[in-house]
Amino acid sequence: MQAVLGIIGGSGLYNIPGFENARWERIESPWGEPSDDVCIGEIDGLKVVFLPRHGRGHVHSPSEINYRANIDVLKRAGVTDLISVSACGSLKEEYAPGTFVLVDQFIDRTFAREKSFFGTGCVAHVSVADPVSPLLVDVVEGACQEEGLTYSRGGTYLAMEGPQFSSKAESHLYRSWGCDVIGMTNMPEAKLAREAEISYSTVAMVTDYDSWHADHGNVDINAIIKVLHENVESAQKLVLAVARKLPREHQQCPIGSNTALDFAIMTAEDKRDPELLAKLDAVAGRVLKK
């Protein structure tokens, strides 16, 4: 299978020097409206598909994003390896603004979002014990090293509902749990990518110290935007380097990202809802067509 690199991130990422033959394309999803059209092009001969998570112009709040439609359209575009580039707050002193954290675990504290493609009429359970693909993280880490970016490999991302930032009590609670960064967008995104059998990795770009740090005060949106703009060039360099380094033949994920549905579907064939099965054609077609 040929590798196709997917990128979910902010609007600055698709204006990348070297992103060739780029075109915006509307992909319909049975799960509703995705955040935006996808931008499809090539970097160094590799097909790359970019989706603005909040839509161009940042029109969708984290809780209003249609995460199912987003992952579904990326699957329909052929994405095999997906990198989420996300702004986040730091819960650790050592992760200063500007640091890229390659997280490997998540705690999902969201509550207002659809979190699965499956349900009544076709029940399935996939493992997200290891939610990111180590081979893809290897490529991202190599790209960070090549570009001289400040990064740390490993860490736990606390996904909160938002759109407000944390209270000080919440921020201290999440620190007591051993969390490293906090954001609003990577769940249920990571879970849905696993259900869609897409290798997934997160690059969490630190913009602030959340609200716990006595020397930095409350979250300042103006300061966050300033750091975000400063991070855009680094993120663009990272995406270019990842595209150069990613093997052109997709590598099977050693933790089973690409075979997550092999034994996941529990509903007997004669009890499955045809309407739901039709919606699952892209996400689960590999196993449902057997």
Instruction: Report, as residue numbers or ranges, the catalytic residues.
Output: 208, 210
81 appears as a binding residue in the annotation: no
Residue ranges in 53-177 assigned as alpha helix (H):
67-76, 134-147, 168-176
The Cα 160–Cα 232 span in angstroms is 23
210 appears as a binding residue in the annotation: yes
60 appears as a binding residue in the annotation: no
87 appears as a binding residue in the annotation: yes
In one-letter notation, the amino acid at residue 28 is E
The Cα 223–Cα 209 span in angstroms is 11
209 appears as a binding residue in the annotation: yes
Query: What DSSP state is assigned to residue 185?
Result: S
99 appears as a binding residue in the annotation: no
Residue ranges in 123-257 assigned as alpha helix (H):
134-147, 168-176, 189-195, 221-245
**Tokens, residue 119:** 């349900």
54 appears as a binding residue in the annotation: yes
Going from the C-alpha of 36 to that of each of 33, 57, 102, 213, the distances in angstroms are 8, 10, 26, 36
185 appears as a binding residue in the annotation: yes
Determine the 3-state secondary structure of 278 from DSSP: helix
Q: Are 87 and 62 in contact (CB under 8 A)?
A: no
Determine the 3-state secondary structure of 168 from DSSP: helix
Residues annotated in a binding site: 11, 53-54, 86-87, 184-185, 208-210
Residues annotated in a binding site for phosphate: 11, 53-54, 86-87, 185
Residues annotated in a binding site for substrate: 184, 208-210
